[in-house]
Chains A and B, each alone.
Chain A
Amino acid sequence: MIAKTTVQEALPEVWAATVETAIMVVPAFVLTVLLGTALGVVLFLTSSVGPTPRKGLNSVLGAIVNVGRSLPFIILLIALIPLTRLVAGTAIGPWAAIVPLTIGSVPFFGRVVEAALREVERGKVEAATAMGATTRQVVTKVLLPESLAGLVAGATLTLVMLIGFSAMAGTIGGGGLGDFAIRYGYQRFNTPVLLVAVVLLIVIVQAVQSTGDALVRGLAHRR
């Protein structure tokens, strides 16, 4: 019988898995923030309470977002395999996982952004409009800066969610800490090594949350 891998022996693999998680999560997060912000801005601007209401466009976008958010991520992951192959050239590996991770989290972050922009007092937008601001200036100089604390809090939430998603992506070939934990903990019953992965995930999520909270506090301090 082969001896169980000790924690010591597994450490290099833990490190590689952590790097894989980062490869999946960091680019997906950056893309999500960019695309989700754009989506949220459009959702807000075209909504009935926004500065440039467009009922039709808003309904269509809203419907797409809701469809995206109704699918459990694990199902989205599988359904997107053809698209992932088209975009990334392969459906396997951490780089390929960026595609479904991004698509899975953009609708969520878009709604977070929309909600944050809604919190900006209407009067501030009105004041800028009265000064002759264009819609673009209203977005870049009023809406986004004034809601920054809310956006950062939402981005933190999204990043933690992405780390969770990445574990699922790992099971269908993405690699990363989730995949590592499943292989050792579930398939080989190696509880000590599983614990290492679990602790590491907890530490990462805690670090992300604390950093986000600190940023939000810093932003809130100014007002």
Chain B
Amino acid sequence: MITVQQLTKTFPSPHGAVHAVDDISLEVEQGEVFGILGPSGAGKSTLLRCLNLLERPTSGRVLLDGEDLTALGPKALRDRRRDMGMVFQQFNLLHARSVADNVGFPLEIAGVPRRERDARVAELLDLVGLTERAKAHPGQLSGGQRQRVGIARALAARPKVLLCDEATSALDTETTTQILDLLAEVNRRLGVTIALITHELEVIRRICHSAALLDAGRITESGKVVDLVIDPRSSLGEAILPTDGPDDYPLTAILAFDADRVSGALISQITRDLDLDVSLIGGGLERLAGHEVGRLRVGISHPGDPASAPDKARIEDYLRGRDIPALVHALGDAPLTVAATKEDAA
């Protein structure tokens, strides 16, 4: 759907060139919700704005359905932009217009006749639950309502893609949940592909199918959310489903698994099969992108002798045999600091 190839955006600054986006390649698949996570200043916003060329990349290409947007002339680019709705953190509604006229704005720009516009606007206001506020002005709405208008507006021209620039960062927790649910519904019901940037892990957990971690203009990790979480070495997976806890057992392991595939009695089975004590330190199960996945941090010790270290290779072999991705770590090894991303990095 969206293909980004070797994208670079450099801004001049008094201290030399700043690489806001540094050689990024990524692929957003048709129908998915793709989340780009990163702290503020990581280049998220620049990257997103390069997708519809609000920001012209210094080099690299952006393809929408195989068509290179960077090669288009102004007229063709304007046409393609109608295929990409955009939702903003600060809503960016027009205050001189009513809610209905804001929603109809993209259609007005595209020259759609009034009657047709009105019908579409009514449909969208119904979708976002704001039919009653059609004649209100944006200033009379709450933040959550404004963002609903923003989403309805972004959908007006029936885009294939929705680009969301920190769409929930200006909202309180409860409203964030509602807006995320609305975006998920838009994705599911209308089949609109969504590319979003956020610094909130909750956004990734709640609605994303795929995620990428952006740091200092580079993607350090990316993949399907489920694959990331069931990779014990993934720091993005660790951020999404953290297994915090002390590593003061002789052996500590991070077990990551798809709970639909692994029996619920996993810990008892390990205990029984290996004749070891397995203590739960942290982590848990969560339903992500339609999968029940687990990430557990466990301490492993001999039942009678808690100080001596069990045989690490034997445990690794056992877990490999059970097809459970794991990272086993002995006291004294380099610490298990996979969690490079702290919750709400910004």
- Asked if A137 lies at the interface with its beta carbon under 8 angstroms from chain B, I say yes
B86 close to A (CB within 8 Å): yes
Which stretch from B11-19, B92-100, B202-210, B255-263 is at the chain A interface? B92-100
Say whether A50 faces chain B, with CB atoms less than 8 Å apart.
no
Binding stretch for chain A, among B74-82, B175-183, B300-308, B332-340? B74-82
A130 touches B109 (CB 8 A): no
In the complex, chain B residues whose CB is within 8 Å of the CB of A139: none
A206 interface residue, CB < 8 Å from B?
no
Known contacts A132-B81, A146-B94; A137/B88 CB under 8 A: no
Complex contacts, A222 vs chain B, CB 8 Å? 95-96, 137, 139
In the complex, whether B108 has a CB less than 8 A from a CB of chain A is yes
Taking a contact as CB atoms under 8 Å apart, the answer to whether B54 and A131 are in contact is no
With A132-B82, A132-B110, A223-B139: A145-B92 Cβ-Cβ less than 8 Å: no
Q: Does B43 sit within 8 A of A, measured CB to CB? A: no
Bound: A131/B150 CA distance, A: 12
Once the chains are docked, how many angstroms separate the CA of A14 from the CA of B97?
Answer: 45
Q: Report how far A126 CA is from B163 CA in the complex, Å.
A: 13
Closest to B163 in A: A130
Instruction: Point out the residues of chain A lying under 8 angstroms from B252, CB to CB.
Output: none
Task: For the complex, give the distance between the alpha carbons of A132 and B96 in Å.
Answer: 20
Closest 6 pairs (CB-CB, A-B): A123-B92, A223-B139, A132-B78, A223-B95, A127-B92, A145-B96
Do B92 and A124 touch across chains, with their CB atoms under 8 A apart? yes
Query: A153: shortest Cβ distance to chain B, in Å?
Result: 15
Q: Which of B81, B90, B106 contacts A123 (CB 8 A)?
A: B90
Q: Output the nearest chain B residue to A137 by Cβ-Cβ distance.
A: B109
Q: Can you give 18 A-B contacts (C-beta < 8 A)?
A: A121-B90, A123-B92, A126-B88, A130-B86, A131-B81, A131-B109, A132-B80, A132-B81, A132-B106, A132-B109, A132-B157, A141-B94, A141-B109, A142-B94, A145-B97, A146-B94, A222-B95, A223-B137
Contact partners of A124 in chain B: CB under 8 A:
92-94
Does B138 touch A at the CB level, under 8 Å? Answer: yes
Contacts of A129 in B (CB 8 A): 54, 81
**B296 proximal to A (CB < 8 A):** no
Instruction: Given A132-B82, A132-B110, A223-B139, answer yes or no on A123-B94 (Cβ-Cβ < 8 Å).
Output: no
Q: Are B92 and A126 in contact (CB under 8 A)?
A: yes
Within 8 Å by CB of A131, from B96, B106, B137, lies: B106
A141 with B84: in contact, given A123-B92, A146-B96, A223-B95 (CB under 8 Å)? no
B249 at the interface (CB under 8 A from A): no
| A-B contacts besides A131-B106, A145-B96, 13 pairs, CB < 8 Å | A121-B92, A124-B93, A124-B94, A132-B106, A132-B157, A141-B94, A145-B94, A145-B97, A146-B95, A148-B96, A222-B95, A222-B139, A223-B139
- Whole-angstrom CA separation of A39 from B229 in the bound complex: 57
Give Cα A133 to B92, complex, Å: 15
- B interface footprint on A118-155 (CB within 8 Å = 1, 0 otherwise): 00010110111111111001000110011010000000
**A134 vs B79: C-alpha distance in the bound complex, in angstroms?**
11
- Beta-carbon contact of A141 and B108 below 8 Å: yes
Which B residues are CB-close (under 8 A) to A133? Answer: 78, 109
Tell me if B235 counts as interface (CB < 8 A to partner A). no
Measured in the bound complex, the distance between the Cα atoms of B163 and A130 in whole Å is: 10
Check B105 for interface membership: any CB of A closer than 8 A.
yes
Partner of A132, one of B79, B90, B93, B139: B79
Cβ of A146: which chain B residues have Cβ within 8 Å of it? 94-96
Residue of B nearest to A147 (CB): B96
CB distance from B64 to the nearest CB of A (A): 13
